[in-house]
């Protein structure tokens, strides 16, 4: 259900004068605005196929209605997001929640919506109906070779699905670990997991990557077999040049310095990319930038500095993906807010006077360092982000247009109140 182009045009006409006033004042103050707008235009964020319905917790789930009932309807929703903000031009599939039954038809549909396929995700953290062996005590780490083989075969099958769609990476997140001291031999678990990952690595096409996603806790609550960036980097280094470490912002222990982790993974050339979200306590999977937008800005500061140091292509060389779960917000509104927060943090990081910052760091002028960072962080660059999507035919205010056109109601009329999307 794509919107009539005229609806976006009318929406923009009503807002253009006010938008251009704000844009002009930024252009007056900052000569680099044009360069920043260009870089934002090129920046695309992949939408998770498992976050287009209402999420929930073990305590409850409160559906909002009109949820996508199939992969095709999920792509329709991402297509609508992309039409509104022109920055959600990719979808990341989770298998078996979203198996492309007819890859050719799915590829054709993606083309119609202007979408590409980002990393595919395997799932050995749930037992599927008719599954021979259980993952209760892990998958790639399991003491039983047959369970490890079942999990390895699943990952290889996921790679095949990805190849059919044009994806170039698989994300492996393992819930493997232990809940009690003594339950697991840590060295044995690491060695079995590495051995299993090596078989998956061997199955990667030449131009593919494997992203090793770490997590500090949940669903295991004593140890996780890929528990932090150090363990993930150990696996990625032992596996080879096609293996990288994926940073999910919600997968850290409280107060971890994620921006420092990002700087060092970039330095090592082992940063895969991100699962963007926000959190106050655990893996809360909240809207990006909703709890700690300054941390997101500091992470993008390290990303811009580190990517420039390695002459990386900002838009293409890392995986920019959202991984969120919507317990109380409309999934599409939540995702629009997340994409906006990511683009704003990137724009603010691009505005930092890096030459002056390097000078201040060399002079141990701590106060000036903070002033230079916060000067960029305290500059409202929303008009630059709006201009970037306006130039690509998007809506100046996507969220306002989604509401003023009552698009959720349109989806409910089309799909019903009680539809449930696969995913978290
Ligand atoms: C684990 C995780 C992982 C996904 C899942 C949906 O917490 O972040 O990336 O596979 O969420
Ligand atoms: Mn994740």
pLDDT (tens digit, 9 = 90+) per residue, 63-120? 889 999 999 999 999 999 999 999 999 999 999 999 999 999 999 999 999 999 999 9
Question: What local confidence, expressed as pLDDT, does residue 422 receive?
Answer: 80
Question: What local confidence, expressed as pLDDT, does residue 70 receive?
Answer: 96
Q: What is the DSSP string of 343-395?
A: HHHHHHHHHS-HHHHHHHHHTT-HHHHHHHHHHHHTS--HHHHHHHHHHTT--
Residue 7 maps to a domain: no
Please name which ligand lies nearest the alpha carbon of 424: 1
Residue 91 maps to a domain: yes
Q: Is the CB of 211 under 6 A from ligand 1?
A: no
Q: For 43-144, where are the alpha helices, taking DSSP H only?
A: 71-85, 103-113
The answer to whether residues 82 and 46 touch, using CB atoms and an 8 Å cutoff, is no
**Which range is least confidently modeled, 29-33, 55-59, 248-252, 255-259?**
55-59
Residue whose CA is closest, atom 6 of ligand 1? 424
CA of 173 to the centre of ligand 2 (A): 7
Number of folded domains in the chain? 1
Q: Is the CB of 323 under 6 A from ligand 1?
A: yes
Residue whose CA is closest, atom 2 of ligand 1? 173
Residue 9 maps to a domain: no
Arithmetic mean of pLDDT, 302-318: 98
Residue whose CA is closest, atom 9 of ligand 1? 173
Residue 286 maps to a domain: yes
Is 90 exceeded by the pLDDT of residue 311? yes
Please name which ligand lies nearest the alpha carbon of 175: 1
Is 80 exceeded by the pLDDT of residue 390? yes
Arithmetic mean of pLDDT, 11-35: 98
Is 80 exceeded by the pLDDT of residue 400? yes
Could you tell me the CATH number of the domain that includes residue 156? 3.20.20.150
Tokens of 383: 């008009």
Q: Could you read off the pLDDT of 231-262 as tens digits, one per residue?
A: 999 999 999 999 999 999 999 999 999 999 99
Q: Is the CB of 314 under 6 A from ligand 1?
A: no
Q: Is the CB of 424 under 6 A from ligand 1?
A: yes
Residue 280 maps to a domain: yes
The answer to whether residues 210 and 239 touch, using CB atoms and an 8 Å cutoff, is yes
Arithmetic mean of pLDDT, 355-361: 98
Residue to mutate, 46, 213, 247, 326, ligand 1, most ligand atoms under 8 Å from C-beta: 213
Residue to mutate, 248, 250, 276, 423, ligand 1, most ligand atoms under 8 Å from C-beta: 248
Q: Is the CB of 50 under 6 A from ligand 1?
A: yes
**Strands 120-121 and 169-173: what pairing?**
parallel
- Position of tokens 């982790």? 261
Closest by Cα among 169, 53, 52, 50 to 117: 169
CA of 395 to the centre of ligand 2 (A): 29
Residue 136 maps to a domain: yes
The answer to whether residues 327 and 62 touch, using CB atoms and an 8 Å cutoff, is yes
CA of 218 to the centre of ligand 2 (A): 12
CA of 182 to the centre of ligand 2 (A): 28
357 Cβ contact partners less than 8 Å away, ≥ 6 residues apart: 369, 372, 373
Is 70 exceeded by the pLDDT of residue 406? yes
Work out the mean pLDDT of the chain and round it to a whole number. Answer: 97
Cα-based torsion angle of the residue sequence 223, 228, 230, 232 in order, rounded to the nearest 10 degrees: 90
Q: Could you read off the pLDDT of 113-170 as tens digits, one per residue?
A: 999 999 999 999 999 999 999 999 999 999 999 999 999 999 999 999 999 999 999 9
226: domain range?
A: 44-339+397-415
Question: What local confidence, expressed as pLDDT, does residue 111 receive?
Answer: 97
Residue 245 maps to a domain: yes
Is 70 exceeded by the pLDDT of residue 1? no
Residue 35 maps to a domain: no
Q: Is the CB of 139 under 6 A from ligand 1?
A: no
């Amino acid at each position: 259900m794509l919107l009539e182009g005229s609806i976006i045009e009318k929406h923009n006409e009503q807002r253009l004068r006010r938008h251009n006033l704000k844009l002009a004042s930024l252009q007056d103050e900052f000569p680099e605005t044009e360069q920043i707008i260009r870089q934002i235009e090129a920046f695309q964020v992949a939408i998770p196929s498992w976050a287009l319905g209402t999420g929930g917790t073990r305590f409850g789930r409160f559906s909002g209605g009109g949820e996508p009932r199939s992969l095709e309807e999920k792509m329709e929703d991402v297509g609508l997001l992309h039409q509104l903000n022109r920055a959600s031009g990719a979808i990341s599939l989770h298998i078996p929640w979203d198996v492309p039954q007819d890859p050719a038809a799915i590829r054709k549909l993606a083309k119609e919506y202007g979408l590409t396929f980002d990393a595919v995700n395997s799932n050995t953290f749930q037992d599927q109906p008719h599954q021979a062996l259980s993952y209760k005590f892990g998958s790639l780490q399991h003491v039983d070779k047959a369970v490890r083989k079942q999990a390895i075969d699943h990952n290889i099958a996921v790679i095949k699905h990805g190849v059919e769609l044009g994806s170039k990476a698989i994300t492996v997140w393992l819930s493997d670990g232990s809940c009690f001291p003594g339950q697991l031999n840590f060295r044995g678990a690491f060695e079995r997991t590495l051995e299993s990952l090596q078989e998956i690595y061997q199955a990667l096409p030449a131009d593919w990557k494997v992203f090793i996603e770490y997590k500090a806790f949940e669903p295991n609550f004593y140890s996780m077999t890929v528990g932090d960036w150090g363990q993930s980097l150990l696996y990625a280094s032992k596996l080879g040049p096609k293996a990288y470490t994926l940073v999910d912002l919600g997968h850290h222990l409280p107060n971890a310095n994620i921006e420092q982790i990002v700087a060092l993974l970039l330095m090592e050339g082992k940063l895969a990319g991100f699962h963007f979200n926000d959190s106050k306590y655990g893996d809360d999977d909240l809207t990006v930038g909703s709890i700690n937008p300054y941390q997101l800005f500091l992470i993008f500061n390290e990303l811009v500095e580190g990517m420039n140091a390695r002459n990386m292509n900002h838009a293409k060389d890392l995986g920019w993906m959202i991984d969120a779960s919507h317990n109380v917000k409309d999934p599409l509104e939540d995702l629009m807010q997340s994409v906006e927060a990511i683009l704003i943090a990137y724009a603010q990081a691009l505005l930092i006077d890096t030459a002056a910052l390097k000078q201040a760091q060399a002079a141990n002028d701590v106060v000036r360092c903070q002033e230079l960072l916060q000067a960029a962080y305290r500059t409202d660059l929303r008009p630059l982000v709006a201009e970037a999507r306006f130039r690509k035919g998007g809506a100046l205010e996507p969220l306002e247009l989604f509401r003023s056109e009552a698009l959720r109601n349109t989806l409910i009329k089309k799909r019903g109140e009680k539809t449930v999307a696969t995913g978290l």
